[in-house]
């Protein structure tokens, strides 16, 4: 099948998916799996292989997401029910004021997402956003989009966030310049997409708090955990993952210490430790019985199951597009365009992102496509850092229905698909485009 035919097939499948979800109102899980099958057949895949690709896409995605979302949901529910999140919200509002709560949430997401995968950061922090909304700090859209903007900006441009550090290491970029250029790109992107855009779009899109977050028995009470304990529990998994991300770089690979850091700092272990600490410090130690704590955990699993299934189905669609060769076809088409390498890096990452969904996969795919073009240019570490920032920007623009982040925002904030496009998709595009422009400006001075 020709490269152009593959690209047209991918574009057609995305249009079909949008139609089924937004117009036909077919459930997202069913729509994603159905379109995955259609896309595989249209791309010329062996029908016998399509079922295996669907299984691989679902299993590969859920292997990480299911554990993270389930544990994170229990952790967040215990933090909410015991009043820990309300204490955080109360303190943030006291420090920043209700009229600046969106700035506080954007900054919180930006800082806390540094050592995390996107899904982990959302699960850990979304309850804080809901608690701030309950306490009058703003609407669901204003506070929620500000938080997501902070997380997304960090994940696109800053190390040690997983995507940027992987691309920087593969391209051979200078990490010092990567931190500097990442911050230069992040500041305007965060301000524009976070507090400013969230304040604007919240006047157009308004949704109520999700039903299970509308009330808290602690909204009018004073018997709340301390702010230090609440932030300590939120920071515990960040600390464990950060130790692995940072300290392991200075430890010999394969050594006993390195292996333990890899284990302790894995999101599975880090969030499990945070769960156990929350169960005891917020539950048992404050007078809840073990049965009461476990009932709280059980109530968190049911809504988490929907998020897990939709995210897994998005992984199926991504895997079909990857296995059909669409990414390679796109790279072949753009490689001979004659564009500056930093602009080409941005466009390639954006195109792969639109087609297959995952920002991390888009970063790594664009890295693989750009790397052969960089070798004859002899770029220095600073220039390669600028290219890395451009790839990070391109990899998060135009998020839509094949991106798990789209569905996380959709489900957690209680948005319709159209509202998610108006809020989440535009926010991601502002971040990515701003970062890409900043990368091109930086590159022009190097």
Residues 418, 410 contacting (CB under 8 angstroms): no
Cβ neighbours for 116, distance < 8 A, ≥ 6 positions apart: 124, 161, 237, 238, 241, 267
pTM above threshold 0.75: no
Domain contains 74 = yes
Cα–Cα distance measured from residue 20 to residue 282, given in angstroms and rounded to the nearest whole number:
44
pLDDT at 210: 73
* Structural domain includes residue 292: yes
Residues 6+ apart with CB under 8 A from 169: none
What's the pLDDT score for residue 133? 83
Contact criterion met (CB below 8 Å) for 106 and 90: no
pLDDT of residue 428: 95
Domain with 273 in it: 64-164+215-304
Assess if residue 121 is contained within a domain.
yes
- Cβ 414 vs Cβ 375: under 8 Å: no
283 neighbors 78 (Cβ within 8 angstroms): yes
| Residue 268 lies inside a defined structural domain of this protein | yes
Show the CA angle centred on residue 149, arms to residues 145 and 150, nearest 5°: 120
Q: Is 221 exposed, middle or buried (0-12, 13-18, 19+ CB in 10 A)?
A: exposed
Q: Give residue 441's pLDDT.
A: 93
Distance between CA atoms of 68 and 411, rounded to whole angstroms? 16
| 336 in a structural domain | no
Tell whether 75 is covered by a domain: yes
DSSP letter string, 376-440 = GGT--HHHHHHHHHHHHHHTTTT--TT-HHHHHHHHHHT--HHHHIIIIIHHHHHHHHHHHHHHH
In a domain, 407, yes or no: no
Residue 300 lies in a domain: yes
Q: Of 100, 103, 107, 147, which Cα lies nearest the Cα of 123?
A: 147
Domain count for the chain, please give it: 1
- Do residues 59 and 256 lie in contact, with contact meaning Cβ atoms separated by under 8 Å? no
DSSP string, 124-141: HHHHHHHHHHHTTS--HH
Walk along the chain (446 residues) and give the pLDDT tens digit of each residue: 677 788 788 778 878 877 887 678 787 788 888 988 988 888 888 888 888 888 887 887 677 667 877 887 788 788 878 878 777 777 777 787 777 888 988 988 887 776 566 776 787 778 778 878 877 778 889 999 999 999 999 888 987 676 787 788 778 888 778 888 998 999 999 999 999 999 999 899 888 877 655 555 454 556 788 888 988 888 888 788 777 767 766 777 778 888 888 888 877 888 899 889 999 898 888 877 888 888 888 877 776 676 677 767 777 776 777 777 765 666 566 666 667 888 888 988 888 788 767 777 677 777 767 776 777 777 888 889 999 999 999 989 988 877 778 888 888 888 888 899 999 999 999 999 999 999 999 998 87
């Amino acid at each position: 099948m020709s490269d152009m035919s593959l690209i047209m097939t991918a574009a057609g499948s995305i249009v079909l998916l949008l139609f089924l979800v937004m117009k036909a109102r077919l459930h997202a899980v069913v729509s994603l799996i159905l379109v995955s099958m259609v896309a595989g057949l249209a791309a010329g895949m062996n029908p016998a292989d399509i079922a295996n690709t669907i299984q691989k896409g679902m299993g590969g995605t859920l292997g990480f997401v299911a554990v993270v979302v389930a544990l994170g949901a229990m952790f967040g529910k215990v933090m909410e029910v015991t009043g820990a999140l309300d204490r955080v919200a109360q303190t943030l509002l006291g420090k920043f004021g209700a009229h600046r709560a969106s700035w506080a949430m954007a900054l919180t997401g930006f800082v806390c997402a540094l050592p995390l995968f996107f899904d982990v950061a959302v699960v850990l922090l979304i309850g804080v956003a809901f608690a701030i909304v309950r306490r009058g700090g703003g609407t669901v859209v204003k506070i929620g989009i500000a938080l997501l903007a902070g997380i997304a900006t960090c994940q696109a441009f800053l190390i040690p966030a997983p995507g940027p550090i992987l691309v920087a290491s593969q391209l051979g970029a200078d990490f010092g310049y990567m931190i500097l250029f990442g911050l230069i790109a992040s500041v305007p992107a965060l301000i524009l997409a976070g507090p400013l855009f969230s304040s604007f779009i919240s006047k157009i899109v308004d949704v109520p708090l999700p039903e299970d977050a509308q009330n808290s028995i602690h909204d009018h009470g004073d018997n709340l955990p301390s702010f230090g304990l609440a932030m300590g529990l939120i920071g515990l998994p960040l600390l464990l993952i950060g130790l692995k991300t940072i300290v392991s770089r200075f430890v010999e690979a394969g050594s006993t210490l390195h292996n333990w850091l890899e284990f302790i700092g894995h999101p599975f272990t880090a969030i499990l430790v945070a769960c156990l600490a929350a169960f005891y410090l917020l539950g048992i130690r404050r007078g809840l019985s073990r049965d009461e704590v476990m009932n709280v955990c059980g109530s968190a699993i049911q809504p988490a199951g929907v998020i897990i299934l939709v995210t897994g189905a998005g992984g199926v669609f991504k895997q079909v597009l990857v296995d059909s060769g669409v990414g390679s076809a796109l790279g072949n088409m753009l490689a001979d365009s004659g564009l500056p390498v930093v602009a080409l890096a941005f466009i390639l990452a954006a195109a792969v992102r639109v087609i297959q969904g995952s920002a991390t996969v888009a970063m790594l795919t664009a890295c693989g496509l750009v790397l052969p073009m960089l070798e004859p240019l002899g770029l220095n570490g600073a220039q390669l850092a600028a290219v890395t920032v451009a790839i990070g920007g391109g990899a998060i623009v135009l998020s839509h229905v094949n991106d798990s982040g789209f569905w996380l925002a959709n489900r957690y904030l209680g948005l319709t698909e159209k509202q998610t496009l108006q809020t989440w998709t535009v926010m991601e595009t502002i971040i990515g485009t701003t970062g890409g422009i900043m990368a091109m400006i930086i590159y022009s001075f190097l």
